[in-house]
């Protein structure tokens, strides 16, 4: 299975299980849902030799159509503050949690394989102390093909919030971290706040961000959905990332073997060879110039209806297959081009572009 693009939704749900369940049930058009501050709760007690009451089994929201990717918390002090959900339709891409590369409860680095290439997506929750950013700053991570770093960064800065006139020193660390993964800050196509205050007189904020590959077509194309934040105080962000270049369908231009068209074509090329001036050939550049002259003497498009007008483009002709190699040698032997044939046989130029 090869996927051409990945649709991703990201939102801080503020530990609300109803929001997560609603997203998993309704947002089926997305391939990946990245959650910050997910809900965790005790599911049941499990038997324990050291605890007569049993140990708590802690879990979060699940859905049969989504694969939850997160480290299971050992206890309530170890609750993960990020989780990723992958649409089950993409299970063949082998999504993995890369805790061997980044092991932090506020950062989820997931990988997947597509067309034999490994890609990474990073989900980040940075608290008021910016512990996740400090971890990334102090941890050497050497990976390529990071498609996206997104989440709730809890940083106000004039760089992404026009209503905030100041610059944050933490912003410098964030930009350096993003640059180390070859990522750039993406500006949304509909700039607006991402966190909405329910307190009078308190300003709405822009603290949920996306960083995308430098120079990618998706840069500055992600969207904020202020009307879809449900009961959360954070609006969701979405992006559609292309991971395979568009394949342009093309057809091979051929002349059918043993057809009348082939006979005419071969005769024209033979006549063109015979009319070439091969008396002076001292190096491969002169040989190349002579071969290029064939374009002005043959391959006129109006004579071959199966070869469309090239509009000045080059027509590639394989001399060793389209024209029998023996024919080429015969031409050389019956003309003064014996030296040309020796040069041709020794030259690495087996295929030449014949232009108008």
pLDDT band with cut points at 50, 70 and 90 for residue 287 = confident
User: pLDDT, tens digit, for every residue of 64-85?
Assistant: 999 999 988 877 778 999 999 9
Q: What mean pLDDT value characterizes the chain? A: 82
Side by side, the strands of the sheet bearing 117-125 are 96-97, 107-114, 117-125, 146-152, 208-213, 183-185
User: What average pLDDT does this structure show over 311-328?
Assistant: 42
pLDDT band with cut points at 50, 70 and 90 for residue 252 = low
Residue closest to 115 by CA, chosen among 241, 283, 239, 2 = 2
Q: 47 versus 267: which is more confidently predicted? A: 267
Instruction: Reply yes or no on whether the pLDDT at 114 is more than 80.
Output: yes
pLDDT at 295: 58
Torsion angle of the four alpha carbons 306, 310, 314, 319, in this order, in degrees rounded to the nearest 10: 10
Strands 117-125 vs 107-114: parallel, antiparallel or unpaired: antiparallel
pLDDT band with cut points at 50, 70 and 90 for residue 253 = low
pLDDT at 265: 81
User: pLDDT, tens digit, for every residue of 192-209?
Assistant: 999 999 887 789 999 999
**Structural domains of the chain ordered from first start:** 5-242 (3.60.10.10), 260-354 (no CATH)
Instruction: Reply yes or no on whether the pLDDT at 339 is more than 60.
Output: no
Q: 301 versus 193: which is more confidently predicted? A: 193
pLDDT band with cut points at 50, 70 and 90 for residue 132 = very high
151: left (phi over 0), alpha (psi -120 to 50) or beta: left
pTM (2 d.p.):
0.68
Cα 330 to the center of its chain, rounded Å: 52
């Amino acid at each position: 299975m090869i996927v051409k693009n990945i649709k991703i939704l990201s939102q801080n749900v503020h530990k609300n299980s109803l929001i997560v369940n609603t997203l998993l049930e309704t947002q089926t058009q997305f391939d990946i849902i990245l959650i910050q501050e997910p809900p965790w709760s005790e599911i049941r007690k499990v038997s324990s030799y050291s605890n007569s009451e049993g140990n708590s089994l802690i879990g979060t929201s699940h859905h049969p159509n989504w694969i939850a990717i997160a480290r299971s918390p050992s206890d309530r002090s170890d609750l993960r503050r990020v989780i990723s959900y992958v649409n089950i339709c993409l299970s063949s891409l082998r999504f993995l949690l890369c805790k061997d590369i980044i092991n932090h409860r506020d950062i989820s680095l997931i990988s997947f394989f597509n067309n034999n290439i490994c890609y990474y997506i990073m989900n980040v929750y940075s608290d008021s102390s910016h512990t996740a950013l400090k971890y990334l700053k102090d941890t050497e991570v050497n990976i390529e093909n990071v498609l996206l770093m997104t989440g709730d960064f809890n940083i106000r800065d004039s760089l992404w919030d026009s209503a905030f006139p100041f610059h944050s020193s933490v912003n410098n660390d964030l930009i350096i971290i993003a640059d180390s993964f070859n990522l750039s800050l993406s500006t949304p196509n509909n700039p607006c706040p991402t966190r909405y205050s329910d307190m009078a007189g308190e300003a709405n904020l822009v603290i949920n961000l996306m960083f995308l590959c430098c120079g990618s077509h998706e840069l500055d194309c992600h969207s904020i959905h202020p009307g879809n934040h449900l009961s959360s105080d954070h609006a969701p962000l979405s992006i559609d990332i292309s991971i395979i270049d568009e394949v342009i369908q093309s057809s091979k231009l051929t002349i059918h073997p043993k057809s009348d068209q082939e006979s005419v074509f071969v005769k024209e090329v033979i006549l063109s060879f015979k009319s070439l001036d091969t008396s002076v050939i001292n190096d491969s550049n002169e040989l190349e110039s002579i071969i290029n002259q064939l374009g002005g003497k043959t391959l006129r498009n109006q004579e071959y209806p199966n070869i469309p007008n090239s509009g000045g483009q080059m027509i590639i002709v394989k001399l060793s297959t389209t024209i029998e190699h023996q024919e080429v040698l015969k031409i050389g032997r019956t003309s003064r081009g014996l030296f040309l044939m020796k040069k041709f046989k020794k030259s690495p130029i087996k295929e030449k572009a014949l232009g108008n």
